[in-house]
Amino acid sequence: MIAELQCVVLDCPDPLRLAEFYREVVGGTVNRPDPRWSLDEHWATLHLPSGQVLAFQRVAGHRPPRWPDPAHPQQFHLDFAVPDPDRAQEQVLAVGATLLDARTGAVPDDWRVYADPAGHPFCLVREG
């Protein structure tokens, strides 16, 4: 092994807002003191219950991806397993997500694509 993953960093216009959005989706602690990072208006973190860390950095002139537009590729996305996609959809929309595509009844599982408040795509996929 050469390295250990420290965190996943998402570019965005408002780091604190995006950290709080993902806290609502997956839980955790926003901006927990951690000697690895300084926290300010340009950087926020979300320490997940699993021990993983998502980080968010302010980028001037951030251009969000547009799913599924290849001229503005998604670059990466996060998948979240949920027991009830309908309930999870209500919850993520209530905290600021935007529905991009719903494939209910798709084989093998239901999945839906959303954008977070900074425009990054993420999916909710039925557990199982």
Supply the CATH number for residue 15's domain.
3.10.180.10
Q: CA-CA distance, 66 to 104, in Å (whole number)?
A: 21
Contacts of 89 (CB under 8 A, 6+ apart): 99, 102, 112, 124
Q: Is the Cβ–Cβ distance between 71 and 62 less than 8 Å?
A: no
3 found inside a domain: no
Specify the number of domains making up the chain: 2
119 found inside a domain: yes
63 found inside a domain: no
29 found inside a domain: yes
pLDDT tens per residue across span 5-38: 789 999 999 999 999 999 999 999 999 998 888 8
99 is in which domain, residue-wise?
78-126
The structure's pTM equals 0.81
**Same structural domain for residues 82 and 112?**
yes
